[in-house]
Every structure is written in C-alpha cells, then in structure tokens.
Amino acid sequence: MSNLKNILLKKKICKSVWFMRQAGRYLPEFRELRLKNPNFIELCLNSDLASEITLQPIKRFNLDSAIIFSDILMVPYALGQEVTFIKDEGPKLSEFRMDNFSRNNKLEFSKKLAPIYKAIEITRSKLDKEKSLVCFIGAPWTLLVYMLNLKKNKNEINLEKLENKDLKFNLIINKLIEYLCIHIQGQINAGADVVQIFDSWAGLIPDKSIQDFCYKPNAKIVEFCKKKQIANICFPKGINKKFENFHQMVKPDGLNLDPEIDPLWARDKLINVVLQGGLNPKVLLKSEESLFNEATKYLNAFKEIPYVFNLGHGLLPETDPDKVNNLVKFYRNFK
C-alpha cells in the first residue's frame, strides 16, 4: 500500500485507493450512531465519536487512507454563524453579518475547532502507520455560497447578490483564506498527512469571475501549503475543461477529477500533477459489470501516471457497502 503524502509530494507512479464520504450514511454502523446523535455539528465536535466514524470504513474495507469525519461548514460555525442541517434540504446558515465576521479572532477560532484536532490525534494513534489520514477544508468560494446564501437553486447563483458591491467579497475571501490556513495547520499539527480543498460549487461561478473567486483563492491556499510542505489535493468541481487553467494557475500537488472530465483528456492535458478520482459514484448503484467496466476505463487511462483511485464526488447514501468492498477488491486485483 502506498502513502498518499509520498505520492503527492514525490509524484511517484504509485497506486492508492480511498473514497470521498467513505465515512458516512451508506454504512449501517454510521446510521446507528447518527440516530443517537441527531445534532450534526455536535457530532462533528465529539472527538471520540468523530474518530470512531472516521475508522469505520477502514475496519470494513482495504483502503489506504482515512478521511477525518467533519464538515466544510465547521469553519463558518467557528466564525460565528449558526449552522443547522435540515433533513432533505441540507445546511442552513444564519444571516451573515459583516460586523460579526470582522470581530473574529484567531485564538477563539482555533479553540472552537479544537475537538476536530483532538479527533485527528485519536485517529492517528489508532490508524496503521502506513495508512494516510486526510483532512479537508472548503475553498473560499464554496464557503461563501453557504455563508451568504448565494444559491437560487441547485444549478444557479443569485447574480444580483454576486454583483452587490456592499458585500466586499475581496475582504471576506482574504479573511477566509487566513482562517482556512489556520485550520489546515491545526489539522496537520494534530496528525493529518494531506489536505483536500473542496471547491464544490466552482462550476457555478460565472466565467468573468472565475479568476477572483476560484483560481486566486485556491492558489493562495496551495501556496501556503507548499511553504509548509503540506501535501494538498484540489477539487474544483464542475469547471470542466477549465481544469487545465486551474492547474496552470494553482499548481496543486493533486487534482481530483469529477465525472464530467474525460480521463484521456485529463491524462494528456493535466501534466505533472497527481490525478485522483473521476469515477461517478452513481455507477455503484448499477450492476457490478457496469461498475467494473467504468472503473477499468479510469485505471487504464491512468496506468502510466501517478493516480489515486477515488470517486468524482462522495459516496451516495443508498450505496451498498458490499459494492464498495467489491470495487476495492477489483482495484487491488487489476492488472
């Protein structure tokens, strides 16, 4: 098994496997815990339970990496916004207030997130040494979508809000970058090996704004990681062939692909970076023949370059754990 950090930093042609949302709602043991702990934020801040959840898929499957059980919205929470998770609707945040946001202080921010760091310490002490521990953050744009309630619907942004000069986007983004870097460092200090930067709503950014809202903020965070020698993976989901521009400007160690990206295009255009993922999580809901055929497409495309087998998004709640297990076995036996 290959250490993910070494693959990312040394760009070695080694193989590794883990899945986004591998600790989550498709596992019966997670659902059992979740029933007893209905407040999601409190669950993320319960260090022992967060560690237990993180290790659940490691106990079940032959995976190379664990990803800490947490949420990208723990950062807005630590910055003073109320965060609630509503069933079948998703997260809701209290109204963003610039005066409250400006009054945040870095020490208090870190204290609020200390239980996450403790969960990482516990997990690292229980995780086999050869396995990597992945931590993560949400990229500034994706956090802004939630913090400022920018979405009109699943596929559309409120452009009027986006063009509201009173919102001082640059100031908010720069402050977010500062706090996100503190959170990355806190997680790494606690024992995480790699950080993944999720820009889950990057695909909704208008073309004219993608530099300011996606490329530049991600580049600043990656620059911080490189100065600190922190292995990093970026995931600007939904930007399609702009992945090439993103890669040229941001220069991350790793790039997670989404299902819209043709793996052969990625292999040819995204050079000198570790590629990860791409497989559509919906294929895990189909027959095993379909699943293995789709997995073969990615494994063949990336056979000669550094590649981490993963998905183009997180595992879906309705996924059968046995399918996950069989996919890992298929990957391990692939020639």
pLDDT tens, 102-111? 999 999 999 9
- Residues lower than pLDDT 70 in the chain: 1-2, 166
Domains in the chain, please, with CATH? 4-333 (3.20.20.210)
Q: CA-CA distance, 97 to 48, in Å (whole number)?
A: 33
Instruction: State residue 2's pLDDT score.
Output: 62
Instruction: State residue 86's pLDDT score.
Output: 80
Instruction: State residue 1's pLDDT score.
Output: 43
Instruction: State residue 189's pLDDT score.
Output: 98
Instruction: State residue 263's pLDDT score.
Output: 98
Instruction: State residue 152's pLDDT score.
Output: 77
